[in-house]
Amino acid sequence: MNDAVASVQSWKVTLPCTRAEAEALDGEIAAFALMERPPVLMTSEAADDETVWRLDAYFEGKPSPAAIKLLKTLVPSASGTKPLIEALPDEDWVTMSQQGLEPVTAGRFHVRNIASDPELPGYVNLLIEAGRAFGTGQHETTVGCLAMLDRMRQVGMRFRNVADIGTGTGLLAFAALHLWPRAHAIASDIDPVAVEISADNALENGIRLGDGAGRLALVTAAGADHAAIVGRAPYDLLIANILAGPLIELAPSLCALVEDGGTIVLAGLLNEQADGVIAAYRAQGMRLAERSNRGDWPTLRLRKRPSIGWKRPRRINSAARGEAPGFGSI
């Protein structure tokens, strides 16, 4: 997902597992989703015996007994095995844990995490190398957002002013600019490391930085609390791929930034959290226009209902409704 990694002591927990258990752990695990910093899970087979597999879980900070107990429930074959728990040296453990990730294809986008992996002809190829920030495209929520944005473009939606709140590596903002190349765009993250990584990734992927049309502005901000974010409002498209709690807490401020008829794409929540998130945004004048699920992770597209009276916001461009006629416009 779109979070950045703090500089804290990292730990690794290793357990044996079967191949079937390893295959079932593909992607990130819903059981850890409510943790502030969930572990990164990696599985691998023994070099000399393909029937022997192992699970390595990388934690930021020493894992609690509850976290280790939860981890063991993912690999029942190791129920009687004592896990190997070790502190890691002060190295870039995110990079180490994400080496060997397979490319991801969603809609027209093909996201690679290793430069040596070949590009896919006929797709928009993006390179987001494993590094100091999360958001490489592997998580189901990021894939869901990429697919949602691509589908919105396919049905003719047009956007001119885009915000990506909690950008992580910048991937979703890059995708939006590929889909709507004349849009103004801004991306933010609470962690300055993520903003630095996003700038590096922008350079790698040919995304121009700056304030003009077709360019991406990057800022460090908690939620939408930044003069540049507020000053560029109202937006006709706002993307937020963060956790359910912050999404609910930020609902008033995010919705206030969106113009009448504008669109918000939300992700980072679990299926059982969707009703609460939807209710929070309905209370701010949004309606659910589309929901797509990838496993336990839904992606929500909401549209802002027109307001009335003197508080009604003015659009930057009256033609930029954020949704083409015939696709659910009020």
Name the binding residues for S-adenosyl-L-methionine.
142, 166, 189, 241
Distance, in Å, from the CA atom of 155 to the CA atom of 108, rounded to the nearest integer, reads 14
Q: Which two tokens stand for residue 38?
A: 């969930």
Name the binding residues.
142, 166, 189, 241
